[in-house]
Structure 1
Amino acid sequence: MDRQPHSPAREIIVANALRAVANELRLIDVADYVAFIRLESMASIADIVESASELYFMPGTLRLGHGCEAHVYWEGNPRIVLDLELRPGGCTVYCSLELSAENAAVEVNYVAFDDPSEDPEENSLYLEKALMAARIVKTERPLLMG
């Protein structure tokens, strides 16, 4: 896919939304990712992504896209790249999430809006609001004394 001219600004929005999910995904041992990718067990990786995302997003908001990559060499740190589809209400974000030992990075490839505005900044604001609406708000329960 061709990157859109407004992708860098939207990468910040998406990266902020995916920060907690990326931390969850980094809890999985890199050897498991490598094994699933090597054995082409995309369903297993899709389950991992779904499990991590259900803690932070409404069901169906985040899912594994068309693939993933493992970059493992004798020298250097391993990297796992997951193609993701982020679907908050009214738009779809096609992006890649790169996970390494200490970092995570997002690359937005394309954003499709159901009803786009002619103003790209308005579309970016819509994306940010849609992602906020798709998040699961965690509230602390009051302590019951009895």
Structure 2
Amino acid sequence: MKRTQYSVARVEIISEHLVEVIKDLRLVDVADYIAFIRCELFGNIADIVNSATELTFYPDMLTFGLGGEYTLDWNSSPKVMLDLEFSNMGVNAYFRLTLAADSTEIDLHHLRFADTGRSPADNTALLAAAFEDARLPQFTTPANG
């Protein structure tokens, strides 16, 4: 997606809402991701993504897009790229999550809004609202008193 002020803000919104999911995705060994991608066992990755999202998002809001790649050579750390899809409140976001040893990147490929004709700023606000609405309530335990 072409880099604009709106795309930068939208990637930040997505990044903020994926913090917990990314932590859970990193619990899986990078070699497993590479093996699943190499052998085209994308159902296994879909299961991992579903498990990583189940405590953060309502079911089927954030899913694996059935595509992925990796880079692995003798001169650099491995990278795993996973295609993810978000869908809620008439907003569909298609993006690629890149996991590396010391970084995480989100490459937003496409956004679709069911209600067209809004301004870019309104669409960005709708994306934020859709992510907020898709999140499960976070319960905290009361302090012992």
TM-score by length of 2: 0.91
8 Å contact from structure 2 (residues 46, 66) kept in 1: no
CA deviation string 1:24-54 (max 9, x = no partner): 1111100100110111000000110111011
1:95 is matched with: 95
Q: Partner letter of residue 47 of structure 2?
A: D
1:19 is matched with: 19
Structure 1 window deviating more from structure 2 (3-12 vs 24-33): it is: 3-12
2:130 is matched with: 130
1:9 is matched with: 9
Across the two proteins, how many residue pairs are aligned to each other?
Answer: 144
The structural deviation recorded for 1:141 is: 3.6
Unaligned runs of 5+ in 2: none
Give, in whole Å, the separation in 2 of the partners of 1:134 and 1:4.
Answer: 26
Give, in whole Å, the separation in 2 of the partners of 1:122 and 1:23.
Answer: 30
SS in 1 for 2:88: coil
SS in 2 for 1:24: helix
8 Å contact from structure 2 (residues 96, 106) kept in 1: yes
Unaligned runs of 5+ in 1: none
SS in 2 for 1:111: strand
CA deviation string 1:73-92 (max 9, x = no partner): 11111100001101122200
SS in 2 for 1:20: helix
Moved >3 Å (runs of 4+): 2-6, 141-145
Q: Partner letter of residue 12 of structure 1?
A: E
Higher relative contact order (CA 8 A, sep 6+): 1
